[in-house]
Structure 1
């Protein structure tokens, strides 16, 4: 069995020395094992349809993890490979980050930028209830969400239930090979740059620096007066990729810590000396689709007063999942730690409250605190700010640009 903590998948930033190995855990009570064996044997002998030992055991493992929290789950070998492909940014499908905790529907955490799902109009918070006319069955590992994948050029018909809309509707989406470019950049106006990060993949830190170099090459005589960093509907990804980007803004300061019951989960990250942008003002755009790794980056910038956060309260996923590979090629995701911003905040189920709130952008139907079984423990605050003056009638990007112009050097 191989243990791969997702938060440790990169060595791009310095971390504390690993602690001593954990002490052995007590043995599982024999009575509990006997009870499990009794149920297993009864299913094998008496279930109305024949079930193989593998089917029974996989159902048991999926059920074991499904009741723990919204992010721990059992992965078949194919699902484990799909998870790895998603982290690397290449697969054939429609291009969404999804949550399959509900047995009868798939919740869209966020569609990725410039993918078939986004172009078809699928939104964060939507629920897919049927695929090609067949109801979603997330308890069947051979059914959904794998049916969302398929050959490039093939079409899939989705039945979608949107919160606030009375009737479900259908979307026809043509699958493509999804090659996620996680970072895009452009000049908004002379002296003001815009960088969009849609997800945190293995190469996001490198791509972030490459995009900034290209902007500089395109306007070598242009000084940077401000930068808009867009993390809206960014569902997260590799935590270490977000830490790499935070390092580029902050330099040699604390960036993130994680804490769990297993001492191997207790890690602190500190950036390297120097930053890319020489202290130029930064505005970070977030919304309720900004989750996990994007919240880590936003939280670090907010704690160090390096950026102004603009938008709506973020998703609130402040937990770390480790990928544990089994000897048969299957794997499971297990929540092993909470992460904490540099000031010690846990945003689990609370999210990050921006410094400037914009009206009409929060999606309360799509946040961590509403998920069944979420682990809680957040220490974020800011309810008073949400009750204050809320700006209306302006786009996120235009509002951020106006803020930077007022605060540029």
Structure 2
């Protein structure tokens, strides 16, 4: 959890920028200076603005805070996912991806209009239990309007000490007016995989997050389901609804568990000719069993890589509704010397069929809408998945 009174000193970065400017003018060859005169002019402009603000602003200015805001603002202007991370933020990232952090259990993004939007509530967290859903907009936090905030600023406000309450103002499409929801913060411990053997010997695996233990949990789940069915499994339903994603390497490892061969995902940078590709190794842990993947608008990022790869390789049938469309690659670039890091969008994901996921999403082969309004509502997507496995099993049996 963040200690908001702690700020990593960053004023030395200003001196570093000043050193670059002076070196450009006094040390480097004239040809370099002439080739990079626009960059030098921009650095000079930044330094002038910083100096004027520091000297003449009506109140005393904390230079470190001013630099922090400048760095975050510069990167936030590129897209919602690029930002500057203080040393403390950088360390917290490691806690998040290991499945243990404090807050509400909501994955959020900033849409193109600057509104904070819920990508997905994580299973068994305060946000999920409060009834928040993918696509909800957070318009206020404890009475403060969040429009105009950066994504990190909104997330920081939602985090806090466990057992403290927060009031979110929510706008939901189709409602006449926003409504308030009071939620009590908790220490969030993510259980990435749950499973059970359904009737008719159908295995059900729920993946709620691609964190750093997801692949091991899935291997255990498949083994346990096969054991319970006496190795007479008809097929597997893999539910990635409201799964906001996780780690790229876990998306690749988990997908590889179900493939014998084929491309999993590729990434393209600004230079379209440079392309990183990831391929499956031989070894399908289900031995070719039927697989149905269920998606919805809360399935994002690593979930979309998983669904796209198994769908494009004809290894699974994707049903449900279109996924979120978060297909950009963020790289963490450490700055060293206690200066934190930057998280920068450096590429985009492409499915094996060379289709971009970003802002497009994965379209299921069969569109099945769900109308779940309470715990007693029928899960039409799950019902359809079971029917699909049973019908295909009967067809295979007739052919055999």
TM-score range, shorter chain: 0.7 to 0.9
2:29 is matched with none
2:208 is matched with 198
Please give the residue correspondences for 1:110-121 in structure 2 after superposition, counting only pairs within 5 Å: 110-121=120-131
1:102/1:56 CA distance change after superposition, 3 Å:
farther
1:365 is matched with none
**Structure number with higher relative contact order (C-alpha < 8 Å, ≥ 6 residues apart):** 1
Shift of 1:164: 2.5
Find the residue that maps to 2:258 and give its secondary structure. helix
2:385 is matched with 400
Contact 1:87/1:238 (<8 A) preserved: yes
Aligned partner (choices 97, 105, 127) of residue 107 of structure 2: 97
Find the residue that maps to 1:252 and give its secondary structure. coil
Contact 2:222/2:286 (<8 A) preserved: no
2:305 is matched with 296
1:177 is aligned to 2:187: yes
If the length of structure 2 is used for normalisation, what is the TM-score? 0.81
1:186/1:140 CA distance change after superposition, 3 Å:
closer
Contact 2:211/2:246 (<8 A) preserved: yes
Contact 2:118/2:135 (<8 A) preserved: yes
Shift of 1:297: 0.6
1:248/1:291 CA distance change after superposition, 3 Å:
same
Please give the residue correspondences for 1:32-43 in structure 2 after superposition, counting only pairs within 5 Å: 32-43=42-53
Find the residue that maps to 2:257 and give its secondary structure. helix
If the length of structure 1 is used for normalisation, what is the TM-score? 0.79
Contact 1:227/1:282 (<8 A) preserved: yes
Aligned partner (choices 243, 248, 251) of residue 260 of structure 2: 251
Q: Deviations over 1:202-235 (max 9, x none)?
A: 111111111222223333x241111111111111
Shift of 1:354: 0.7
Q: Deviations over 1:38-97 (max 9, x none)?
A: 211221122233322222222221121122123212233333333322211101221111
1:211/1:105 CA distance change after superposition, 3 Å:
same
Structure 1 or 2: more helix by fraction = 2
1:12 is matched with none
Please give the residue correspondences for 1:319-398 in structure 2 after superposition, counting only pairs within 5 Å: 319-327=328-336, 328-359=338-369, 395-398=380-383
Residue-pair matches, total: 353
1:141/1:225 CA distance change after superposition, 3 Å:
closer
Which structure 1 segments of 5+ residues have no match? 1-23, 362-392
Distance 2:113 2:345 in 1: 20
Contact 1:106/1:145 (<8 A) preserved: no
Shift of 1:286: 0.9
Please give the residue correspondences for 1:215-294 in structure 2 after superposition, counting only pairs within 5 Å: 215-219=225-229, 221-261=230-270, 266-294=275-303
**Bigger radius of gyration:** 2
After TM superposition, what 4+ stretches of structure 1 lie above 4 angstroms from structure 2? 100-105, 137-143, 262-265
Contact 2:267/2:277 (<8 A) preserved: yes
